[in-house]
Amino acid sequence: MSHSPTVFNLGEEGTLLVGYRNIGEASAGTSNIYVQLPPYIEYLGVLGALPGATCTAQGAVATGQVLTCQSQGLGAPPFGQGYVNLRLYGHAQAASPGPLPVRVAVDLATPANAALLQSCATNPAQSFCAADAIPTYFRCALQWADGIFCDGIEPFVRP
């Protein structure tokens, strides 16, 4: 899992790339990817996915959205790999300088098991779990519409 840019500038968009693979011995059906976003990091949509994926967000941005993505099945190893690239927006209220934790669980089983994400919070070392930490930066100009006071003379007060 990786994110771009290296440091999220709050008030701007970024991406989160989640890769996953089939480690079983046969082709897998539907792949289910669960992502717990940190508070005030908002899901905007899917930038790209292979195989194709659809994602939905549940919960409030202020408390951290949970994304559920479903994609077509993966082939048997060594070719059973996929990814989903998510568009995100870092709101000014997000913690800065971070890093902000992101948790991911991947399920290649039918029916889907959304409880895996909670299991990853308890034990992140499980084979179906992944974690990332997104550093954030709050730019001075977010305080004022024109950024006029970002000259180091005025005191910086985070909203």
* Cα separations in angstroms, 150 against 49, 71, 147, 158, 159: 39, 45, 6, 12, 15
Q: Is residue 97 part of a domain?
A: yes
Tell me which residue range forms the domain holding 33: 2-143
Q: Is residue 151 part of a domain?
A: no
Q: Is residue 159 part of a domain?
A: no
What is the full DSSP assignment across 22-58?
A: --SSS----EEEEEEPPTTEEEEEEEEEES-EEEEEE
Tell me the CATH number at 24.
2.60.40.1530
Express each pLDDT in 97-125 by its tens digit: 778 999 999 987 777 787 888 899 899 99
Q: Is residue 116 part of a domain?
A: yes
Is residue 34 classed exposed, middle or buried when 0-12, 13-18 and 19+ CB atoms within 10 A define those classes?
A: buried
What residue has token string 């059973």? Answer: 80
Residue 96 is classified by DSSP as S
* Cα separations in angstroms, 112 against 30, 33, 41, 60, 101: 9, 9, 25, 22, 24
Higher pLDDT, 119 or 24: 119
The stretch 30-50 carries a mean pLDDT of 94
Total number of domains in the chain: 1
Residue 16 has pLDDT above 70, yes or no: yes
Q: Is residue 46 part of a domain?
A: yes
Q: How many CB atoms lie within 10 A of CB 11?
A: 15
